[in-house]
Amino acid sequence: MTAAVPKLRIRGLRKSFGDKRVLDGIDLDVMPRTSMVVIGGSGSGKSVLLKCVLGLIQPDAGVIEIDGQDVLRMRRADAEAARARIGMLFQNGALFDSLPVWENVAFGLLAQRRIDRRAARERAGEILAQVGLAASVGELSPAELSGGMQKRVALARAIAAQPDMMFFDEPTTGLDPIMGAVIDGLIVDCVKRLGSTAVAITHDMASARRIGDAAAMIHRGKIIWSGPASALMDSGNPEVDQFTHGRREGPIQMELRR
């Protein structure tokens, strides 16, 4: 077990916007074929963390290793190749609104020229079914969907190419509880069946325990606790306890965010 190389290894990751310090030395390991749940207050830098790994935000300092390879210090083409194997569900969906739903879902497959357009259309229908949407939804444009449906289409797009690492930024926010459970199941399925590695950000503790093997909490730019997801509710850490039980009193005081 100790010999295993983490799928994702982050050390000392720092990022400030102006004089606002968002990430202040993040250390995180995600083992292959497991799923990691990241929790933390609103504005604590969870989305920024994922975007740093994806290369969408340039961190100020630190190490990000994917499969033991430092993506911040390798050749640009290699870094792009390493990152191309990560599927991402953006917090707001980020669907391409000039394209129909099916083309959104199959975008990655078409871009990698793995299949032609007709096969892509069929494949999109299958993936949409996995997230509980009829194939006919594929003909609509993203603007014609409800918020929850957009989220599911975005999820379908993130997993369509069966990437070996998947990032989910609040996959179940905005979904009804039953659909939330279905989506959680789908994420677990991707990890178990496809052997993918998942990192999910969530504010939903039920969902966190369903998805996560491991869990970590980010607070004030640092990981203040990490452990098995099953221990989230009784971690013994006062901050985590307050957060997971949603108490108003505790070590975390609501501060005005800058």
Partner 1 sequence: MLDLLAAVGRASLAACRFTGQLAIFGLSGLSHLLRPPFYWRMFGRALLEIGYFSLPVVALTAIFTGMVLALQSYTGFARFSAEGAVASVVVLSVTRELGPVLAGLMVAGRVGAAMAAEIGTMRVTDQIDALSTLSTNPMKYLVAPRLLAGAIALPLLVIVADILGVMGGYIIATFKLGFNQAFYLKNTLDFLQPTDVISGLAKAAVFGFIIALMGCFQGYNSRGGAQGVGAATTAAVVAASILILAFDYVLTEMFFAR
Ligand X SMILES: Nc1ncnc2c1ncn2[C@@H]1O[C@H](COP(=O)(O)OP(=O)(O)OP(=O)(O)O)[C@@H](O)[C@H]1O
Which helix (H) or strand (E) segment is 103 a member of?
helix 101-105
**Using the rule CB under 6 A, is 93 a contact of ligand X?**
no
**Using the rule CB under 5 A, is 44 a contact of Mg ion?**
no
**Using the rule CB under 5 A, is 91 a contact of Mg ion?**
yes
Cβ closest to partner 1, residue 93 vs residue 212: 93
Cβ closest to ligand X, residue 16 vs residue 141: 16
**Using the rule CB under 6 A, is 202 a contact of ligand X?**
no
45, interface contact from ligand X, Mg ion, partner 1, none, CB < 5-8 Å by kind: ligand X
Residue from 23, 109, 110, 18 nearest 64 by CA: 23
- Minimal distance, residue 48 CB to Mg ion, in Å: 8
Structure token digits, residue 10: 């982050």
Residue from 136, 174, 178 nearest 155 by CA: 174
Residues within window 6-65 making contact with ligand X, judged by CB under 6 A: 17, 22, 40, 42-48
Name 35's Cβ contacts closer than 8 Å, sequence gap at least 6.
187, 188, 191, 197, 198, 199, 200, 211, 212, 213, 214
Asked whether the beta carbons of 223 and 216 are under 8 A apart, the reply is: yes
**Using the rule CB under 5 A, is 47 a contact of Mg ion?**
yes
How far apart CA 168 and CA 175 sit, in angstroms, is 14
CA 79 to the chain's CA centroid: 19
**Using the rule CB under 6 A, is 193 a contact of ligand X?**
no
Quick one: DSSP state of residue 99?
Answer: S
Asked whether the beta carbons of 2 and 25 are under 8 A apart, the reply is: no
- Minimal distance, residue 205 CB to partner 1, in Å: 26
**Burial of 227: CB neighbours in 10 Å, binned 0-12, 13-18, 19+:** middle
- Minimal distance, residue 112 CB to partner 1, in Å: 5
**Using the rule CB under 5 A, is 172 a contact of Mg ion?**
no
Residues that bind partner 1 (CB under 8 A): 51, 54-56, 83-84, 86-88, 90-92, 94-98, 107-108, 111-112, 157, 161
- Minimal distance, residue 104 CB to partner 1, in Å: 9
107, interface contact from partner 1, ligand X, Mg ion, none, CB < 5-8 Å by kind: partner 1
**Using the rule CB under 6 A, is 257 a contact of ligand X?**
yes
- Minimal distance, residue 94 CB to partner 1, in Å: 4
Task: Count CB neighbours of 226 within 10 A.
Answer: 20
Which residues of the chain form contacts with Mg ion (CB under 5 A)? 47, 91
Which residues of the chain form contacts with ligand X (CB under 6 A)? 17, 22, 40, 42-48, 91, 257
